[in-house]
Structure 1
């Protein structure tokens, strides 16, 4: 009888742990503020923040700031085309994507200390026409010479 209770208890614990790892832990990480510390800008008086607005910085999904090089890297796309073509939103309207200017995807590289006269000078790396080699990938933006 005691062996049967141990087997049932271990099985129940394994099921509870599996349920937690599969559903509960992922849901807890989605809630804002959990496992994150959000600080107001006033906590950083030595930094001067400014909003960067530019059409080529819209619809950027992945943005990474290199603190040592003071460089902003952003993987961006055409925001008009994003409305009709979004894998995450389960939208796959190819005609609408072409009508919205196409899926022009580009990587923006911006020196945040010297953003340029217009805030950003950028070219595009078009993923639809470029070959899939790293030599064709053009990192664009304003970089110090």
Structure 2
């Protein structure tokens, strides 16, 4: 995965500083960020309430309009019915265009929900993609080893 991301950055950016114009060529980095947000969303939970009294959830739980239900997003993002038996595994290919289009509505909510969701999510993803590209362009990143703290410049 890291080699794929580095290769994409080298191909798209070369030695140039990342710019908005590069975003369309950084699709794999977008997938990496979306998969990261699936596992660790920026908004970890949100509340919802039923529209009518007597609403039954899952055929078992009756809830009323004054009940507040908390949706824990990391749990939502790890539902094996949506994400498969390997839902805990980091896999950027979950966000290829075809697979992302096939996701059920509301299966991916890393920036909150409804009126309270982040209005800057698109811009945040663009900035994060450009930052990740710059990071990969300029530094060697390896798996974390808590026994060492060495850092090395890539270029």
What interval of TM-score do these two structures reach, taking the shorter chain for normalisation? Answer: under 0.3
TM-score, length-normalised on structure 1?
0.25
More helix by percentage:
2
Taking structure 2 as the reference length, what is the TM-score of the superposition?
Answer: 0.24
Query: Which structure ranks higher in relative contact order (CA pairs < 8 Å, sequence separation ≥ 6)?
Result: 2
Bigger Rg over Cα: 1
